[in-house]
Amino acid sequence: MGQFSISELEQLSGIKAHTIRVWEQRYGILRPVRTATNIRTYCDDDLRRLLNVATLCGRGYRISKIAQFTEQELGRAVISCNDDAHDYSQQVNSLLAAMLEMNEPQLSSLLNQSIQELGFETALMHVVYPFLQRIGVMWQAGSVNPAQEHLITNLIRQKMMAATDKLAPVPPAGACRWVLFLPEGEMHELALLFMNYALRARHHHVLYLGQNLPIKELQEVCKTYQP
């Protein structure tokens, strides 16, 4: 279970720390635990709830009404307002909340919805990339565990590969030719997969070699493929 300071909640949710404190005192929105030195700390459930509250506030709900919702009512309200394709921050918040619950079906559904409504590249740039940035902040703070990170990485990887498979094949003759790879020891390939998609979508021919490729292998590859 993650532990967050109020400044981390502010950074992750976009809600000012002062506002969070007011909501705590007036509406009991969150229930922080205090350390021996009287510092507020918040758990994953607090962050998930605040992300959902931020989503509803961004859609015009009054905080006094949100405070009366049960957890089930809060979840239903968030899902019901998740239909604005251009409200990127709301989509990111929904993804973060689903990640904290390890809710793979909801994560997949949210990603599919963004891709369908925005198009693959726009969804990646305006929803998925900011989502990964927020996860990076949480990882640095020790608030994302390896299982959550692996779930997200593998799910996004699946979406990228599925989108790439739908592209029409590009004959190598007459096309710009690229070799894409990560050098030995490099394993994080999401950015490389996106580049693979973007180049193929623009009718370039790509030889995708993936991760962890020894540099010494490239000479023979280039000799044969001639990028």
Note the pLDDT of residue 83. 57
Q: When comparing pLDDT for 197 and 55, which is higher?
A: 197
Last residue of a domain, one of 142, 166, 190: 166
Would you say residue 49 lies in a domain? yes
Q: For position 13, which CATH number holds?
A: 1.10.1660.10
Q: When comparing pLDDT for 223 and 180, which is higher?
A: 180
Task: Tell me the pTM.
Answer: 0.71
Domain holding 8, by residue range, is 1-80
Note the pLDDT of residue 222. 86
Would you say residue 43 lies in a domain? yes
What digits encode the pLDDT tens for the residues 27-46?
998 988 888 888 888 988 88
Answer yes or no: do 76 and 88 share one domain. Answer: no
Answer yes or no: do 155 and 87 share one domain. Answer: yes
- Of the CA atoms within 13 Å of residue 96, those in its CB half-sphere come to 36
Would you say residue 220 lies in a domain? yes
What digits encode the pLDDT tens for the residues 71-130?
888 877 876 766 555 678 888 888 988 898 899 999 999 999 999 999 999 999 999 999
Answer yes or no: do 142 and 67 share one domain. Answer: no
Note the pLDDT of residue 38. 81
1 pLDDT exceeds 80? no
What digits encode the pLDDT tens for the residues 154-209?
999 999 999 999 999 888 788 899 999 999 888 889 999 999 999 999 999 999 99
- Into how many domains does the chain fold? 3
Answer yes or no: do 3 and 75 share one domain. Answer: yes
82 in Cβ contact with 110 (< 8 Å): yes
Last residue of a domain, one of 64, 80, 96: 80
- Exposure string over 176-189, b if 16+ CB within 10 A, otherwise e: ebbebbbeeeeeeb
Answer yes or no: do 148 and 203 share one domain. Answer: no
Answer yes or no: do 30 and 58 share one domain. Answer: yes
